[in-house]
């Protein structure tokens, strides 16, 4: 049995010669050769036509492995980065560098309204063997960059960090504003874990008789949730303990649209806080506190609502 390896190399214009190895097995009794003849060999050459554009792309990839090949300009300050690293965490960079956009040729990206220190932080977070981790001090800044640069991995990591920050804030009054910051971020950047935990945390704060959130905090919660129509159900669920069970959807909507819902909820919270429990106060008693702070136009509109007839003597 004879075995021979043959490798053929040639230079081609716009042609790539692929080295092919093939072992030739010849059974003597099946493939006899004459005495003194050169053993039979099989040579296979596979040539693949490569466009000039693809050749240039391959050269670029090879070069980028050796030195930074992309320039990031942040408020005038230049940073040299590796395209592979940028594409590994950002869909924005990947598409820009591979889809024929002008940046794919210039290899230059500019962010004139950003802080150079923020970019240094982002690179420290995403580079191999990262020297920095996401935490309370940088997660909101990182979130805005990951959103702008379309980084699913970065957004997911921010979601995990933000949701973990909510684990022990219910009884810490100084952290209640952070809860609404996280809720706002979760709604604006579509962070499912943080959204779910934020609404649950708000409900826990409101339902805790020992806590007394400020009226402005209640108003901000309602304002944040109201800005996202698909989250109104979560908002009503968080407030359900502080609304009369007899309230119709139209009554609740009237309070919300007239900017009086937070007044109503805060009135209930004050009563609960003073009593140390959650008594079921009447709708009329709560309304009395609400209309004291309502504008004349709001009172006039509520007075026209059929559902508010029991309150008309308060709406003069």
Same-domain pairing of 44 and 122: no
Q: Which domain holds residue 46?
A: 1-50
State both tokens at 278. Answer: 């959650």
Q: Which long-range contacts (CB under 8 A, 24 or more apart) does 302-306 make?
A: 302/254, 302/258, 302/260, 305/250, 305/251, 305/254
pLDDT, tens digit (0-9, with 9 covering 90-100), for 133-186: 999 999 999 999 999 999 999 999 999 999 999 987 776 777 899 999 999 999
Nearest one of 195, 201, 140 to 176, comparing CA atoms: 201
CATH number at residue 59: 3.30.710.10
- The pLDDT of 7-26, averaged and rounded, is 39
Q: Taking the CB of residue 26, how many other CB atoms lie within 10 A of it?
A: 17
Within-domain flag for 160: no
274 belongs to a structural domain: yes
**Residue 3 covered by a domain:** yes
The answer on 67 and 26 residing in a single domain is no
Q: Is there a single domain that holds both residue 56 and residue 133?
A: yes
Question: Is 215 part of a structural domain of the chain?
Answer: no
Q: Give the residue from 103, 130, 151 where a domain finishes.
A: 151
pTM above 0.85, yes or no: no
Cα(289)–Cα(267) distance, rounded to whole angstroms?
6
Same domain for 25 and 84: no
Number of domains in the chain: 3
User: pLDDT tens digit string along 54-98?
Assistant: 555 555 555 545 789 999 999 999 999 999 999 999 999 999 999
141 falls within a domain: yes
**Neighbouring C-beta atoms of residue 114, cutoff 10 Å:** 19
| 81 falls within a domain | yes
Find out whether 314 and 288 touch, Cβ atoms under 8 Å: yes
User: pLDDT confidence of 273, banded at 50, 70, 90?
Assistant: low
Residue 291 lies in a domain: yes
Angle at Cα 85 formed by Cα 79 and Cα 87, nearest 5°?
Answer: 105
């Amino acid at each position: 049995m004879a075995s021979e390896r043959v490798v053929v190399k040639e230079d081609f214009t716009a042609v790539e010669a692929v080295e092919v190895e093939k072992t030739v097995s010849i059974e003597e009794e099946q493939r006899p050769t004459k005495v003194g003849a050169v053993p039979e060999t099989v040579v296979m050459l596979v040539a693949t036509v490569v466009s000039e554009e693809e050749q240039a792309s391959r050269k670029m990839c090879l070069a980028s492995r050796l030195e930074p090949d992309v320039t990031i300009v942040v408020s005038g300050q230049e940073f040299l980065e590796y395209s592979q690293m940028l594409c590994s965490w950002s869909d924005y960079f990947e598409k820009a560098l591979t889809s024929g956009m002008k940046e794919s040729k210039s290899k230059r990206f500019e962010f004139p309204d950003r802080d150079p220190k923020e970019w240094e932080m982002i690179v420290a977070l995403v580079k191999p063997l990262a020297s920095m981790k996401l935490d309370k001090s940088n997660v909101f800044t990182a979130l805005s960059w990951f959103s702008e640069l379309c980084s699913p991995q970065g957004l997911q990591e921010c979601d995990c960090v933000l949701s973990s920050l909510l684990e022990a804030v219910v009884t810490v009054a100084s952290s209640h504003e952070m809860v609404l910051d996280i809720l706002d971020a979760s709604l604006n950047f579509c962070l499912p874990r943080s959204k779910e935990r934020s609404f649950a945390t708000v409900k826990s704060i409101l339902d805790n008789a020992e806590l007394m959130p400020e009226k402005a905090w209640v108003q901000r919660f309602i304002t944040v949730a109201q800005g996202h129509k698909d989250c109104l159900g979560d908002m009503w669920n968080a407030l359900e303990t502080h609304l009369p069970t007899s309230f119709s959807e139209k009554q609740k909507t009237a309070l919300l649209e007239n900017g009086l819902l937070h007044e109503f909820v805060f009135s209930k919270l004050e009563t609960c806080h003073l009593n140390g429990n959650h008594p079921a106060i009447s709708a009329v008693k709560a309304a009395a506190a609400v209309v004291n702070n309502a504008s004349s136009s709001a009172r006039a509109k509520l007075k026209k609502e059929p559902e508010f007839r029991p309150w008309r003597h308060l709406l003069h």
